[in-house]
Structure 1
Amino acid sequence: MTIPSPKREEYDVAVIGAGPAGLAGAALTGKAGLATLLLDENIGPGGQVWRAITTTPVRDKGILGEDYWSGMHLVDEARGCGAEIVQGATVWSLDRNLEIGISVGGAAHLIKAKRVILATGALERPFPIPGWTLPGVMTVGAAQTILKSSGLLPQGRTVIAGQGPLLWLLAAQILRMGGTIDLVLDTTDRRNYLRALPHAAAFLASPYFFKGLAMMREVRARARVVSGVTKIEAAGSGRVETVSYEAGGRNESLPADLFLLHQGVVPNVNLAMAAGVQHTWNDRQLCWSPALDAHGESSVKGVYVAGDGAGIGGALVAVPRGQVAARAVIDTLKPDAGAGLPDHDSLKAALARAERGRAFLDTLFRPPRQFRIPEGETIVCRCEEVTASDIRQSVAIGATGPNQLKAYRRTGMGPCQGRLCGLTVTELMAEARGKSPSEIGYYRLRAPVKPITVSELASLPKNESATKAVERG
């Protein structure tokens, strides 16, 4: 199948990511008559939340749930608004001049935009426990991607461990499809229930409360759940064979063929950071978040960040965030086109309603230290096989932060470019040095932020702009 490339070299607005925020933003700017390009690296729209929404073989709407299918109207709006949508497009570069490096169908292109909306979504938080790199150990998000896109269920003895809404959602979806789950290990810190109480009123008034409660009850009625888990380890010869855990002072072990891990999601910051967008440490969500104004514009003029890339909020928050950013772009580039579209005040009000209850979830599902900051020979950087002990030893002999650590251990220099180890490295080094994550900092990210081939680079025009695109940083 031939993947179409962008038809133009310059657009009014480029939206990167076709999840809830990107679809909502592109639909609005397209309706306003702005030349809009929507780029996404998947084969179809929807992002992770609405993954494969146009192609999933899981047609029983009760299995994936109404929240999943609610995304179809936004897909239809984006497709019908006049925006140009390019799927299968890997965005590997963005600079302060709003020039975007993309690869489509094996060829690289440079695209200019007057405004850029980054809607790159979230990544699953690293869950570095002993044995997490064994074959047969996956993330909950990866398992859900397979379920949505191919309709495939986990096979064999299945254990799910961790915490957060996505864990319970996947467990419910597996059970609804007729699959089995041998055990759910809930790592939620029991002390967090008291810590979250001050935020309970807003949560009770949010749409999350009844849905979340019903989903947890559904899973607990059909699968064994162990709460208060404080220690987990996977083991096996060549692949996962057993899962061991500690809860309530008791140690247990059971055989497993598939082990699914999840402890929440964090903003996917790589492209924004590589573009020079200022980020700060968010201590409530334990991650890096971009510094944004009320419209979602970042420290780089003309670059807006929306959706979970702006801070974790979920699909209900991502949609109005995408619309707020899009409305700001419309008001800047084509203010007369705003008539008949939702105004800024109504969009901000919708965003405030959607954000109700988020503080409760962030506090309740704050991951415990032992599942974020590993010890001993537990691998931290999977690409370069660097352990927690290696990093602590590097700190002891002079490594001061993640960028200096590259010279000692090559952490963050593999194909994932720090996506699977970045937060762990920051928190581990901060603890080892007795400093805050803000003081330690993060990897210095540069283009290309996604792996691209030499042949793709060779397809770029031979000019100064192309040369800078692959050397910037």
Structure 2
Amino acid sequence: MSDGYDIVVVGAGPAGMSAATAAVAQGASVLLLDEGAGPGGQIYRAVTTTPLADRAVLGADYWKGAAIAAAFAGSGATYQPGATVWHLDAERRVGFSVDGQARLVQAGQVVMATGAQERPFPIAGWTLPGVLTAGAAQTLLKAQGLAATGRVVLAGCGPLLWLLAAQSVAAGRPPSLILDTTPRGNWGRALPYLPSFLATPYARKGLALMARVRRAVPIVSGVTELAIEGEVRAERVVYRRGTGAPVTVQVDHVLLHQGVTPNLNLPAAAGCALDWNEAQACFQPRTDEWGATSLPGLFLAGDGAGIAGAEAASSRGTLAGLAAAAALGRISERARDSLAAPVRARLTRQSRGRAFLDALYRPAGVFRRAAEEALACRCEEVTGRTLRETAERLQVSGPNQMKTFLRCGMGPCQGRLCGLTVTEVIAEARGVSPAEVGYYRLRSPVKPLTVAEFASLSNTEEERLAVERG
């Protein structure tokens, strides 16, 4: 491995693989760093190694990732799996660790394809053993061929919830019950976008998928309250619909999901500007049509720049790869634009109907803000009640001030599981928009780094100090 590359790509999902493939094709030297053991990212997890022999279980859309992975494998890019990226700065130095050994590489340009993460779902009991996110359950299915057994309840809203349910049915392990928390009022807000959504292939696929699930699984819609109970693990789910009486269901496993949000930690720690996306109720890095961020030489591609789905992520990765190569002078802007034209046309088709999904599956505020007895910050064990009382009594201005009072966001997850929750609770207490409250001020390292790893750096003292300063 070299000490420097024209382009360093972070993340081997559809956006990262496509960015690397496009950039190498224009003559750039490319290093792709990924935490996974193989290419695919979250959406195409284990696409080259999955033990599932029946292709119908994961569906045709999953196997589209195989072609992207094959193109990347043949591109000539340097690929480093099992790499934890913990540092990125405005000078485009990238710090990462592999097998306990840390190193820094210098990039001419950086494409971050860090993807999405599941939105926090801070209800009572969400930290009990037996409770997983839908994404975690899907990872087990893709990578190990394992599906939850016994009395399994899926709860929440969003396309991934229905996709996992359909995959579980196809695997012969249908869930016992689906508790749909989609707010009824969302249908009215989504209706103006319905015609454009119906014109896409996603509508036909989605309706067929939901029909298969409905034939196999009981569904309770309009759920407005939700809690998980148990002494040492999840044993019961208690839910309510509107003003109806609470209903208790015995469970063995609960799978929670209420959408995905951009993974912000690396771009935010590097200093990239963030914007509040009201439609998707989350923060996302500020980018232009090529994925360029507010910092020169740093690009974002895929769902890390705003949620749009796997197919759109691949197209956005290609655009970012072309733009990064052009910024280095490997191709002219005219050639970049010519190569990008068919990709942009494809991206327009892939993005059509997104507004309908955003409006329909925007999670209810009650589930985005922590319940009183729920852990809002899991690392520091701060409850929703404590968070809310502190925000109201002390008139906390934002999540960075909240850190000084309650240590929220200072644990191993670096705010990934509480960032949006803390912001929205403070915004509610102050009666302002989350955009005014803002997000955590993040610094390197963005992933846990041992002293031994840091000491293993073979770089100069000046470079080590630069990393320490973030």
TM-score, structure 1 length as denominator? 0.96
Q: How does 1:93-242 map to 2 (within 5 A)?
A: 93-242=87-236
1:349 aligns with 2:349: no
Aligned counterpart, 2:464: 467
Instruction: Specify the code of the residue in structure 2 equivalent to 1:173.
Output: Q
* Paired residues of 1:101 and 1:469 also in contact (CA < 8 A): no
Instruction: Specify the code of the residue in structure 1 equivalent to 2:135.
Output: G
The 3-state SS of whatever aligns with 1:400 is coil
Instruction: Specify the code of the residue in structure 2 equivalent to 1:84.
Output: T
Aligned counterpart, 2:289: 294
Q: For residues 42-100 of structure 1, what are the alpha-carbon distances to aligned partners after superposition, in whole Å with 9 as ceiling and x for unaligned?
A: 00000010001111101211110011011111111111111001000000000000000
Q: For residues 191-237 of structure 1, what are the alpha-carbon distances to aligned partners after superposition, in whole Å with 9 as ceiling and x for unaligned?
A: 11111011112111122101111111111100111111111110000
Quick one: which of 387, 392, 404 aligns to 1:391? Answer: 387
CA distance in 1, matches of 2:413, 2:312: 27
1:253 aligns with 2:253: no
The 3-state SS of whatever aligns with 2:146 is coil
Q: 1:67 to 1:342 in 2, by over 3 A?
A: farther
Instruction: Specify the code of the residue in structure 2 equivalent to 1:445.
Output: L
Q: CA deviation at 1:329?
A: 1.6
The 3-state SS of whatever aligns with 1:471 is helix
Aligned counterpart, 1:365: 361
The 3-state SS of whatever aligns with 2:28 is coil
Aligned counterpart, 2:36: 42
Q: CA deviation at 1:251?
A: 2.0
1:432 aligns with 2:429: yes
Instruction: Specify the code of the residue in structure 1 equivalent to 2:449.
Output: I
CA distance in 2, matches of 1:135, 1:229: 23
Q: CA deviation at 1:394?
A: 1.8
Question: RMSD of the TM alignment (CA)?
Answer: 1.5
Larger mean CA deviation between 244-253 and 31-40 belongs to 244-253
Q: For residues 273-316 of structure 1, what are the alpha-carbon distances to aligned partners after superposition, in whole Å with 9 as ceiling and x for unaligned?
A: 00000011110001111111121100000101010001000101
Instruction: Specify the code of the residue in structure 1 equivalent to 2:345.
Output: A
Moved over 4 A (4+): 336-342
Q: 1:32 to 1:374 in 2, by over 3 A?
A: same
Task: Give unpaired runs (5+ residues) of structure 1.
Answer: 1-6
* Paired residues of 1:44 and 1:87 also in contact (CA < 8 A): yes
Aligned counterpart, 1:319: 314
The 3-state SS of whatever aligns with 1:64 is coil
Quick one: which of 262, 268, 271 aligns to 1:273? Answer: 268
Aligned counterpart, 2:278: 283
Quick one: which of 417, 420, 424 aligns to 1:420? Answer: 417
* Paired residues of 1:134 and 1:240 also in contact (CA < 8 A): yes
* Paired residues of 1:244 and 1:253 also in contact (CA < 8 A): yes
Q: CA deviation at 1:261?
A: 0.2
Q: CA deviation at 1:342?
A: 6.4
Q: CA deviation at 1:467?
A: 2.1
Q: CA deviation at 1:398?
A: 4.2
Q: For residues 146-188 of structure 1, what are the alpha-carbon distances to aligned partners after superposition, in whole Å with 9 as ceiling and x for unaligned?
A: 1111001102210000011110111111111111311100111
Q: 1:340 to 1:235 in 2, by over 3 A?
A: closer
Q: 1:324 to 1:462 in 2, by over 3 A?
A: closer
CA distance in 1, matches of 2:337, 2:20: 13
CA distance in 2, matches of 1:124, 1:465: 37
Task: Give unpaired runs (5+ residues) of structure 2.
Answer: none
CA distance in 2, matches of 1:97, 1:119: 18
* Paired residues of 2:12 and 2:40 also in contact (CA < 8 A): yes
Instruction: Specify the code of the residue in structure 1 equivalent to 2:186.
Output: N
Larger mean CA deviation between 284-293 and 247-256 belongs to 247-256
Q: CA deviation at 1:392?
A: 1.9
How many residue pairs match? The answer is: 467
Aligned counterpart, 2:404: 407
Q: CA deviation at 1:353?
A: 1.2
The 3-state SS of whatever aligns with 1:260 is strand
1:54 aligns with 2:51: no
CA distance in 2, matches of 1:461, 1:36: 22
CA distance in 2, matches of 1:398, 1:180: 47
The 3-state SS of whatever aligns with 2:256 is strand
TM-score, structure 2 length as denominator? 0.97
Instruction: Specify the code of the residue in structure 1 equivalent to 2:222.
Output: G
Percent of aligned pairs sharing the same letter: 52
